[in-house]
């Protein structure tokens, strides 16, 4: 589901995709504002395990960075310009992953997955 709303003079786009295999599960989301605000990536805690997950992608030069815990999810905020960004998460077991319900999940060409974030 996509929703576009006007909030404080800027457009805010929130893209939410629910995992079909887990109908009662909280969907994975990301959000951003067109007013040069940060992109916030959300990862449900049930998908991450422990210790805290890390995220890496084009916006971190593929250097892993820790995510912050907020109740039942992990979050990562980053300021990015318009463009296309690839990223993935790394769990407690050291394995890179992108949850099946994550927006724009695609094969990485090496047997794994990446998510694609497009900022207009």
Over residues 32-91, the pLDDT tens digits come to 555 567 889 988 888 777 678 999 999 999 999 999 999 989 999 999 998 999 999 998
Please state which of the ranges 21-25, 34-38, 101-105 shows the lowest mean pLDDT: 21-25
Q: How confident is the model at residue 29 (pLDDT cuts 50, 70, 90)?
A: low
Long-range contacts, 99-102 (Cβ 8 Å, 24+)? 99/19, 99/28, 99/43, 99/44, 99/47, 100/19, 100/21, 101/17, 101/18, 101/19, 101/20, 101/22, 101/25, 101/27, 101/28, 102/17, 102/28
Starting at the edge strand found earlier in the chain, the sheet holding 2-7 runs 2-7, 10-17, 28-33, 39-44, 73-78, 68-70
How many domains are there within the chain? 1
Range of the domain at 68: 2-119
The whole model's pTM is what?
A: 0.71
Assign residue 67 the CATH number of its domain: 2.60.40.10
């Amino acid at each position: 589901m996509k929703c576009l709303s006007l909030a404080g003079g800027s457009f805010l786009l929130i893209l939410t995709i629910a995992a079909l295999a887990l109908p009662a599960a909280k969907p994975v989301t990301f959000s951003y504002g067109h007013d040069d605000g940060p992109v916030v990536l959300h990862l449900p805690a049930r998908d991450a395990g422990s210790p805290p997950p890390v995220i890496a992608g084009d916006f971190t030069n593929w250097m892993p960075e820790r995510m912050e815990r907020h109740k039942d999810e992990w979050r990562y905020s980053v300021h990015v310009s318009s463009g296309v960004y690839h990223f993935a998460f790394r769990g407690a077991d050291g394995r890179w992953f992108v949850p099946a319900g994550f927006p724009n999940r695609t094969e990485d060409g090496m047997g794994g997955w990446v998510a694609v974030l497009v900022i207009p």
